[in-house]
Structure 1
């Protein structure tokens, strides 16, 4: 029996009711084993608990009530997990915000999510002035790697707090994370994930739903931690008592450096990152000699890219399909399913995980027979508690424990899930969720644009990219470059259209709604799968 297998077997004898209980158990049993690597820093499981205790003490000293929302804004940093651990212990909620958003978008989220305290990484420090001016509910801003407004930097602030455990009693149903997710209404929603949700996700390690994980594994986490795909993937190694190597961003140079520095055995990527790795001039298969498995998802992947990656990286590939609302739980396509003799399986996203039920329903949410295409519904202990301050949206999305995803697909006779299309219009580009309504609102602010529809079209690099379909006011003239430049003044760069089509009129149904499916059809013709 290998060490990894032995340690995985030992881990299966443990259950954790809360994230805080897991931290305490790891500190007790794993002690000085390395828990995190980040740039030139490392710390052990015992240190991680002490750091989390200090953060918890600091949050309480700020006078924040239980359940108050705390935000992290910036590129990846292992201190994110100090803050998550501190929130878990003090019963506060960590609500990370996408640092790539434009300042007005960030302010809107901070206000909507009722954020009370913010941790900003150094590159985001200039945002502090805007937040102070626009967000009166924010009590304190602390810089990570920098001082803000004359206050202490994070490391100094944390060092000033005692490392004794609080006399708090975190509960399984406490909200631990609030991660923003996109919709079709033009505004993100905060998916509230509880301790119970997160620990159920971690237990997929015990059940074998995500393969074998042990104390000797080191998992590479380059994806943004403000995404569920970054944070929830990291939870597998944290839960299992393995090591977690965090890079500031998913750049091939940082990924190669991580593999040189440590014996990386697992890694979580989106297809766009896989593409960048393979196309990088310094790519060398020897970078990945210790890598046993790549976990991927979050966006469509072409068969050609997947086959190239399997051949050139020389390791197993495991697809995960889920969403923020399910703590990323859903289906698994195991390495053994990536079988060249069964190419049809590569078009699926796998079979339901052990605690997950999937059914396919019609427009009335009645279950359809096997093989028929309809909306995908999930039921799992990982389903969120609901959307923050969105009771109507929560009630519509979750009924009797079933989460209705808005994705269209079918189940094969063997139980594999195949995705066909998106009932909602959300675009996923490079793992980023982009909702068309927001782009259309930006386009509507141009005086020469009469109407518009934003759609996702295939991209070899990003899975999907944004295309704007517009009609102009009589007598107006605009170029593609002018439309894109206009959007760049209002939106984050990754949300802006990469191309523009000009139409005399946009297709509409009898009720006057723009038919996005008709706009998409020419670009997706022949594609087996139109959603990640």
Structure 2
């Protein structure tokens, strides 16, 4: 079997060499005072250097903290301070952004911006500031650590903060004897296998891409990193590198399906064995269209940064249970509870509580054990704040977020159901539905809609479509058309940004 490689743009780096570079970087971080248990931030776009920075931590017992490099103000300042990162490894062009928000104790290491990132983001030629040590200097000047740690910590991933400031998920280390079970789950759910090739088109600062990239390399796979997602470039990448597995989010499916038929049909995708997706609900019409195009190789899983995957389903299982996010994986468990914390009967809607597979490590929220206790349901169960139901065959269906639920005239309304319905209206590209103040009913519904180019959908069209498909009381009172809805790269909607104009008290959260 050929030696596995990491591919970023036109750079092809043997995995063994990448790990050697990571080991030298680890020694450089040690010399800067990074000790076992210390955290350091990684403010970088997708490229091999981000993986080097991540692997370096595992060799010295430190904790990497991947940072959403889009963050600039309060979000970035909160993460850098809350994580108490000692050091930040930063792409050179992002150094001024970090300088403006960093706590006084934070030390910066500059990382050169590679050619493929400069080209993808149309950056001007980036040169180091000269104010800080560089990662390349540290790699050149140091030897690998003499005694790498045996059980390294996991990364601290900050959740998206779609309804408030992001929370740092502090996970226990993976016990060495559990690695095999996690690898088997990765094989079943995301189609990883030794000798295969995985592509990561999503940002490595998110949990799923971060974890899948790490395990792909651990399982002896080739890894292709896309600087960012582009629909046609994704198809080109699959064909060029004979990709076998891809980890994606539903917004990527939507962009793929918008490609013209002649573009879609000119690429050879026959190497694909598994395309997995998670992170956000996938509109049923989009899922069916992708299965029709790619074949029954699309798997879906549901869980969170906190506890990995709770459920999963194959294409065939989804077609038999449209809209499901799967049944429990391995020895994971799901239960649906009512307001009294009593489990509700099959088919009824309530708050979803899950228990991760026994081989997945436990977690808490960094510096906030109370927040961890607040979501606990006993016996290993906890909630991620989602609402849903389990059907008679044990498959989970999501209804929405608990903090998204709208109570209008005493009736509970779940916006996710309305959003899924409006996704089926011709001309609608994206939609966000949420509650707004209403003098008569307490709350009313608002729908913010993003249209496809040249679409001529009106507010009345939106309301009429809802009334044709759902109960009348689920019709939005307010319809606003947006040029673009605010979404995370993971596909999660930033409803907080939309709600703030209606609920001014939330603006400071």
Sort the TM-score into its range (normalised by shorter chain).
Answer: 0.7 to 0.9
Once residues 249 and 154 of structure 2 are traced to their aligned partners in structure 1, the CA distance between those partners, rounded to angstroms, is 25
Q: 1:226 to 1:79 in 2, by over 3 A?
A: same
Task: Give the alignment of 1:68-217 within 5 angstroms.
Answer: 68-131=38-101, 134-145=102-113, 146-162=127-143, 164-171=144-151, 175-182=153-160, 186-196=164-174, 203-207=181-185, 209-210=188-189, 212-217=191-196
Once residues 144 and 501 of structure 1 are traced to their aligned partners in structure 2, the CA distance between those partners, rounded to angstroms, is 38
Q: 1:319 to 1:184 in 2, by over 3 A?
A: closer
Q: 1:359 to 1:144 in 2, by over 3 A?
A: farther
Q: 1:202 to 1:405 in 2, by over 3 A?
A: farther
Once residues 296 and 483 of structure 1 are traced to their aligned partners in structure 2, the CA distance between those partners, rounded to angstroms, is 28
Give the aligned partner of residue 455 of structure 2. none
Give a deviation string over 1:214-238, Cα, whole Å, max 9, x none.
2221111011111112212324422
Once residues 333 and 57 of structure 1 are traced to their aligned partners in structure 2, the CA distance between those partners, rounded to angstroms, is 43
Once residues 466 and 307 of structure 1 are traced to their aligned partners in structure 2, the CA distance between those partners, rounded to angstroms, is 23
| Secondary structure of the structure 2 residue equivalent to 1:126 | helix
Q: CA deviation at 1:418?
A: 1.4
Give the aligned partner of residue 280 of structure 2. 299
Whether contact under 8 Å (1:300, 1:463) holds in the other structure is no
Once residues 74 and 221 of structure 2 are traced to their aligned partners in structure 1, the CA distance between those partners, rounded to angstroms, is 39
Q: CA deviation at 1:213?
A: 2.9
Q: CA deviation at 1:333?
A: 0.7
Once residues 191 and 354 of structure 2 are traced to their aligned partners in structure 1, the CA distance between those partners, rounded to angstroms, is 24
| Secondary structure of the structure 2 residue equivalent to 1:86 | helix
| Secondary structure of the structure 2 residue equivalent to 1:210 | helix
| Secondary structure of the structure 1 residue equivalent to 2:331 | coil
Q: Kindly tell me the number of residue pairs found equivalent between the two proteins.
A: 428
Stretch moving more, 373-382 or 363-372 = 363-372
Q: 1:466 to 1:149 in 2, by over 3 A?
A: farther
Question: Does 2:342 align with 1:369?
Answer: no
From 14, 20, 27, the counterpart of 1:44? 14
Please give the TM-score of this superposition, normalised by the length of structure 1.
0.71
Whether contact under 8 Å (2:174, 2:361) holds in the other structure is no
Give a deviation string over 1:444-498, Cα, whole Å, max 9, x none.
xxxxxxxxxxx887374776547684799xxxxxxx9x9999x99xxxx974889
Give the aligned partner of residue 289 of structure 1. 270
Once residues 199 and 77 of structure 1 are traced to their aligned partners in structure 2, the CA distance between those partners, rounded to angstroms, is 30
Task: Give the alignment of 1:222-233 within 5 angstroms.
Answer: 222-233=201-212
Whether contact under 8 Å (1:285, 1:314) holds in the other structure is no
Give the aligned partner of residue 336 of structure 1. 316
Q: 1:500 to 1:139 in 2, by over 3 A?
A: closer
Give the aligned partner of residue 317 of structure 1. 298
Give the aligned partner of residue 5 of structure 2. 35
Give the aligned partner of residue 391 of structure 1. 369
Q: CA deviation at 1:197?
A: 7.6
Give the aligned partner of residue 243 of structure 2. 264
From 271, 276, 279, the counterpart of 2:258? 279
Once residues 192 and 324 of structure 2 are traced to their aligned partners in structure 1, the CA distance between those partners, rounded to angstroms, is 24
Q: CA deviation at 1:270?
A: 0.8
Q: 1:79 to 1:183 in 2, by over 3 A?
A: closer
Whether contact under 8 Å (2:196, 2:244) holds in the other structure is yes
Task: Give the alignment of 1:9-24 within 5 angstroms.
Answer: none
Please give the TM-score of this superposition, normalised by the length of structure 2.
0.74
Q: Which ranges of structure 1 fall in alignment gaps of 5 or more residues?
A: 1-29, 428-454, 473-479, 507-511, 514-532
Q: 1:179 to 1:197 in 2, by over 3 A?
A: farther
Q: CA RMSD in A?
A: 3.7
Q: CA deviation at 1:193?
A: 2.3
Q: 1:235 to 1:371 in 2, by over 3 A?
A: farther
Whether contact under 8 Å (1:468, 1:501) holds in the other structure is no
Whether contact under 8 Å (2:201, 2:248) holds in the other structure is yes
Q: CA deviation at 1:50?
A: 1.2
Q: 1:421 to 1:200 in 2, by over 3 A?
A: farther
Once residues 408 and 188 of structure 1 are traced to their aligned partners in structure 2, the CA distance between those partners, rounded to angstroms, is 21
Once residues 315 and 289 of structure 2 are traced to their aligned partners in structure 1, the CA distance between those partners, rounded to angstroms, is 15
Give a deviation string over 1:385-441, Cα, whole Å, max 9, x none.
2000001001222444222222122222222111222223399xxxxxxxxxxxxxx
Q: CA deviation at 1:40?
A: 1.5
From 317, 322, 346, the counterpart of 1:346? 322
